Amino acid sequence: MTTIFELVATALNALSPTVPYGLGTYLCDGELPDQYLAYSLIDGVPEQHADNVEKHRSYRVQVSIFSRSGLAVLPGVDAAMLAAGFTKGPEHQLDRDDESGHYGLAKDYFYLSS
């Protein structure tokens, strides 16, 4: 069985190496790139059981986009995640990081496994 983490990494690979990404936080040696992604699992909720066995689970993952040039031009995260079978959820702006100069946008996606 493929894990939710593998599914997200496979989806985001479509944007790499142009836009690097990491699980939880993006780690690098030296200065952060001008644009990068970080993803995390928000929750995984069982949706259906039969014969005392879980049949379906829905996952909510968050992909955060960080960019020094602002949020007007962003990488195609939506297209990559939708192509991998995710659906779009809420999104919200993150506070600008005064230390690195990055603006941020957090986007949630849902996935129903069976």
Average pLDDT of the residues of the chain = 95
**CA atoms 17, 1, 63, 40: torsion sign:** negative
Q: What is the Cα–Cα distance from 100 to 56, expressed in whole angstroms?
A: 41
To the nearest whole percent, how much of the chain has pLDDT over 70? 99
pLDDT at residue 35, as a whole number: 96
pLDDT at residue 29, as a whole number: 86
CATH number at residue 103: 3.30.2000.10
Express each pLDDT in 66-94 by its tens digit.
999 999 999 999 999 999 999 999 999 99
Q: Are 83 and 34 in contact (CB under 8 A)?
A: no
Domain limits for position 28: 4-113
Cα separation values, 45 from 35, 69, 95, Å: 31, 36, 29
Task: Work out how many domains the chain is built from and give that number.
Answer: 1
Express each pLDDT in 12-54 by its tens digit.
999 988 999 999 999 988 899 999 999 999 999 999 999 999 9
Name the token pair of 47: 């949706």
Q: CB-hemisphere CA count at 13 Å for 30? A: 2
Residue 1's pLDDT band (cuts 50, 70, 90): low
The conformation of residue 5, written as its DSSP 8-state character, comes to H
Amino acid (1-letter code) at residue 17: P
